Structures are given as structure tokens and as C-alpha cells.
Amino acid sequence: MNIFYKSVFMILVWVSSSVFAAEDLKSYYEKQKAEIAPAFVAPSLGSEVRLKLSGGQVRSGILMKLSASSISVMTDSGMVDYKRSVLHESSRADFFVEDFAHVKAIEKTQEYKKQLNMTEAAKQAANIHEGSLYVSAKIDKSENKEVE
């Protein structure tokens, strides 16, 4: 398969995949999120925790309180409350069930999307027939050559 056909093929796969998969991916994500949520286990109160803030800074301490919107950690400098919104996504997934389910469902949905794309590409490849294409290319300013 020459480069032109490969390029056209990839564009066709991308367009068809994005059209048919959008709703399928959304429902797959929602299903995965619902199935994953029950597997969440929050850190125990009194346990040593490390967390990453949205700006990239890492903090550690003893988990003293965990609510739906914040955590409280005892550090060397005292009790520090962190709102859920100031935590990095990876740390939110460690402390909050919604974020845990979201991160894991996104990972599974991306794997599923990759599989859909590979399946669709294989279907498309099975329907492409080899052929010849003649292109006129200008090699330098004074010559035209026929290329097969």
C-alpha cells in the first residue's frame, strides 16, 4: 500500500471512528465508572499519606480527617486542611471515590477506544484494494517526471 493510500486510509479510519464511537465511548466510560467505584478504598485515618498539590508540590503527614470535599493532614507544622480542588488529579484519586472512578474509567475507556480503532482499521483495510496511482511531480524547476 503506497503512502497516499495509507494517508487516506488513516483519515477515513479517524473520521469514521470519531463519528461512530463518541456515544459508545461515553456510555462505556459511564459503565466503567459505575463498576469501578465500589473497588475504592480510602486511606485509613491515622495513616501516613503523601499528596501532590495541583501546582506539583508534594506534602506528607498523617491523615486526620477525610470528607467529601477536603482532607486534613497533621504535618510537622500543624494541622493543614486541603480542599479537594487544590489537590492534583492523581492525589484526588487516592482520597475521593469519584476521582478514583474517573481516573480508572478514563484509562479503561482509552484502552477500549484504541481497540475500537484497531478493529475499525482492520475492517477498513480488508475493504481497500490495491491500485496504481500516477502522479506528476516536479523534480526541479526545469523537469517534469511521471512517477508510478
pLDDT tens column, 109-146: 999 888 888 887 777 777 765 555 555 665 665 555 55
pLDDT of residue 145: 54
pLDDT tens column, 47-79: 999 999 999 999 999 999 999 999 999 999 999
Render the chain in DSSP notation, one character per residue. --HHHHHHHHHHHHHHHHHHHHHHHHHHHHHHHHHHGGG--PPPTT-EEEEEBTTS-EEEEEEEEE-SSEEEEEETTEEEEEEGGGB-HHHHHHH-HHHHHHHHHHHHHHHHHHHHHHHHHHHHHHT-------EEEEEETTEEEEE-
pLDDT tens column, 80-91: 999 999 999 999
pTM: 0.66
